[in-house]
Structure 1
Amino acid sequence: MPDSGYTYICAFDVLEEGVPRRFGVEGVPVSLVLTEQQVFAIHDVCSHSAVSLSEGEVDGCTVECWLHAFRFDLRTGHPLDPPATHPVPVYSVRIEGGHVYARVTGKP
């Protein structure tokens, strides 16, 4: 995908349903999640406690931060539980030819 703004992340078949996977994309930690027949890309650092979201549990379109059990919406990055109040960035994903690409737009 040259010149599209999307970066190759991984082969699609390395993703497991409901299991977050952490990747580094140009120095940005990104978690890919395959759930509900979609792949989501979300910044892999909790906005409340600065721990990896890819170590959390996935339930539908949410990922739970393992440290304080705050949930974030994988579609929007918005926190669903207080006291987390700041969203985490989400990134656009494309799947082409069995490969996953994401448009990672800088560090938060």
Structure 2
Amino acid sequence: MGFERACATGDVTAGEALAVTIGDQDLAIAREGDEFFAVEDLCSHAAVALSEGDVADCRIECWLHGSEFDLRTGAPSGLPATEPVATFPVEVRGEDLYVDVATTLNGVTPG
């Protein structure tokens, strides 16, 4: 499948996540400074959309129970979540973001 366009860089606002779908994979796209990240848009604890939570300090917070996940690794940094979420490679091409949903950076199989 390879890299596919997810959105424009200007669509991703600091402090928030953007929900996008590529193929059958739902993603939360987030920005930290000049870096962009793509994680599975599904909390590993409660199966709700992470894109509805806040983004800060390179973490995304689940709005339901407050679990946080590292945007770089997908690892949870607080309970109640104990399992990581899948993270995906992102490329910036001009003003667009491309994500490879066929490859996970952390080896986690999307749920």
Q: Does the pair score TM above 0.5?
A: yes
Unaligned runs of 5+ in 2: 103-108
Q: For 2:77 and 2:20, how far apart are their aligned partners in 1?
A: 24
Question: Are positions 1:35 and 2:16 aligned together?
Answer: no
Q: Percent identity?
A: 37
Match of residue 26, structure 1, among 23, 26, 31: 23
Question: Are positions 1:68 and 2:65 aligned together?
Answer: yes
Alpha-carbon contact 1:77-1:88 (below 8 Å) kept? yes
Q: For 1:67 and 1:73, how far apart are their aligned partners in 2?
A: 17
> RMSD of the TM alignment (CA)?
1.4
How high is the TM-score relative to the length of structure 1?
A: 0.91
Deviation string for 1:44-88 (max 9, x for gaps)?
000000000000011110011000001000000000112311100
Instruction: Report 1:91-106 matches (<5 A).
Output: 91-105=88-102
Return the index of the structure with the highest Cα Rg.
Answer: 1
Structure 1 consecutive aligned stretches of length 4 or more whose deviation exceeds 6 Å: none
Unaligned runs of 5+ in 1: none
- 1:55 maps to what in 2? 52
Q: For 1:72 and 1:12, how far apart are their aligned partners in 2?
A: 22
Q: For 2:110 and 2:32, how far apart are their aligned partners in 1?
A: 25
Corresponding residue pairs, total: 105
Question: Are positions 1:45 and 2:22 aligned together?
Answer: no
How high is the TM-score relative to the length of structure 2?
A: 0.88
